[in-house]
Amino acid sequence: MDCVTIPSNYKQMIIDVVLLTYTKNDYFFDMTNKCINSIINSEKNYSFNIKLIETDKTFKYFYDFDCLNTIVPEEEFNYNKFVNIGLKQCKNEWILVSNNDTEYTEGWLTEMLNQYSKNNSILSMSPYCPTWGKHKNNFNKGKDVYIGHRASFELAGWSILMNRKVIDRIGYLDEQFDFWYQDNDYGMNLRKYSIKHALIRNAIVHHGVSKSHELLEKDRKYNMTDGSIGRFKRKWSK
């Protein structure tokens, strides 16, 4: 499959994408394909350079997109470590870090970058999911932009668009957070370095809640979910 064709006389802005997947079966292969297609087809004025970080090491599935580079780390799954592998290969001004259980609607990125053009102190943003309870119950007050760092509220860990300046200032993600609390930790780092994050109300992305939880190994599941709260409290209790 091809990405959007760029006319020879027009230079599009390229957005780097770091997308994590575990293609364990056909269901997750289809889900990831839908996510990638939705990103590519959501915008005509931007192109995407996708780093797909694959947990499955069988190489049974192949994603056929010209703008996609699949990376299969040797290590066992660690969310922040895998994101960092992708981030270290990103070269462009804007980077989307996304789960694969997301579908992006037309114009979501245009809306986010339009808001940045109005307030370039907002260096990190998340889109709005109309079916996510914490979004639909808290962010329907007629505003386009909600500034804040609360995970699952303004900060949707399943989709974060960050400016390269964020990584330059806070560094790469803390790899002790291998699944849960990675978004909480990211939000705390933004607060520590006084970097604004915003939920952009008119940038619509649909998120399939907790689809990735089904793939966690039972013997590691607690440590990677509720067990992470202790690490988070120890780091930020000061």
1 in a structural domain: no
- Cα distances from 228 to residues 59, 85, 171, 178, 220, in angstroms, run 30, 21, 21, 8, 11
Q: Give the pairing type, strands 13-21 and 46-54.
A: parallel
Q: Which residues pair with 54 in a beta bridge?
A: 21
pLDDT for the residue numbered 106 = 98
In a domain, 97, yes or no: yes
pLDDT 10s digits, 14-44: 999 999 999 999 999 999 999 999 999 999 9
pLDDT over 60 at 5, yes or no:
no
Task: Report the alpha-carbon distance of residue 196 to residue 124 in Å, rounded.
Answer: 7
At residue 153, φ and ψ (nearest 5 deg) are -110, -100
Residue 85, CA distances (Å) to 17, 180, 213 in order: 12, 18, 21
72 inside domain: yes
Tell me if 67 sits within 8 A of 124, measured CB to CB. no
Q: Residue 58 belongs to a domain with what CATH number?
A: 3.90.550.10
pTM (two decimals): 0.89
Q: What would the mean pLDDT of 163-182 be, rounded to a whole number?
A: 94
Q: Which domain holds residue 221?
A: 13-236
Give the integer Cα–Cα distance in Å for 89 and 16.
Answer: 9
Considering the domain boundaries, does residue 2 fall inside one?
A: no
* Selected residue with higher pLDDT from 139 and 218: 139
The two tokens of residue 121 are 């102190």
Residue 88 amino acid letter: K
- Phi/psi of residue 88, each to 5°? -70, -10
Query: Is 7 part of a structural domain of the chain?
Result: no
Establish if 5 belongs to a structural domain: no
Mean pLDDT computed over 53-82: 96
H-type alpha helices, the chain? 26-41, 79-87, 108-118, 133-136, 164-170, 182-192, 218-224, 228-236
Q: Indicate the angle between helix axes 79-87 and 182-192, nearest 10 degrees.
A: 60
Quote the pLDDT of residue 59. 93
The number of folded domains in the chain is 1
Residues 126, 96: contact at Cβ < 8 Å?
no
**Residue-wise pLDDT tens digits, 91-131:** 999 999 999 999 999 999 999 999 999 999 999 999 999 99
